[in-house]
Amino acid sequence: MGSKVLIKLKNIRFGYPNGQKVFENLSLHVRKGDRIGIIGPNGSGKTTLLHLIVGLIKPTGGDIIIFGRSRVSEKDYREVRKRVGLLFQDPEDQLFCPTVAEDVAFGPLNLRKSRDEVCRIVEQTLKELGLEGFENRVTYNLSGGEKKLVSLATIFAMDPEILLLDEPTAGLDEAATQTIEDILLQKAHTYIIVSHQREVLEKITGDIYKMDKGTLKSL
């Protein structure tokens, strides 16, 4: 018996209103403990795939089953978004509070954690990601690498069961890339990473797929 399937995409089809087809019969299983990398050219649907999993967009065909339940309506995805953390490609889409501490606290507060518990979560999360002392830093003034780390912190603070990471090391220098690689290997168990950097995926994922003509092919 293998690990439990957490995400099951079956025969997914998706196209934009202008007629552009993105997915044709795409399927993917994600089990507990899987570390999956996805590569592919711009416009091949890598980001679209992550957005489908959390219900930001809906497929035009096929089935999305997450945590054993079919997900169709907006209500279905509310639970998913509490248990699956999505890192956007651009940190500016993730960070919207004045300070780092407020950004990291936002998710736990929405989960109705107590103020004391939220303060503990913020302190612990920043420490784990090497961001001690960043609590009162203005997010707007952070470097690109720091913004990526704080974006990761906002997700880790929610204690998700699965991470969906869209280009987590894009545009970062070698040191910042290494930091994020180390954090994921040490502190994350199940994730899907979309990246153009195959060398990064080879270090931190177990299975790599290529997005090709609307479906996924194992490499």
pLDDT score of 2? 60
pLDDT score of 171? 87
pLDDT score of 96? 92
Distance in angstroms (rounded) separating the CA atoms of residues 168 and 33: 19
Distance in angstroms (rounded) separating the CA atoms of residues 79 and 16: 26
pLDDT by position in tens, the chain (length 219): 467 899 999 999 999 888 888 998 999 999 999 999 999 988 889 999 999 999 999 999 999 999 999 999 999 999 999 999 999 999 999 999 999 999 999 999 988 999 999 999 999 999 999 999 999 999 999 998 999 999 999 999 999 999 999 999 988 889 889 999 999 999 899 999 999 999 999 999 999 999 988 899 999
Q: Which residues pair with 207 in a beta bridge?
A: 36
Q: Name every residue whose Cβ is closer than 8 Å to that of residue 212 and which is 6 or more positions away in sequence.
A: 40, 44
Residue 142's CATH number: 3.40.50.300
Alpha helices in 10-139 (DSSP H): 46-53, 74-83, 100-110, 115-128
Question: Which domain range does residue 56 map to?
Answer: 5-218
Q: Please state the pTM of the whole predicted model.
A: 0.94
Q: Are 49 and 57 in contact (CB under 8 A)?
A: no
| Token digits of residue 46 | 């890598």
- Crossing angle, helix 115-128 and helix 100-110, to 10 degrees? 130
Please state the domain count of the chain: 1
pLDDT score of 63? 97
pLDDT score of 1? 46
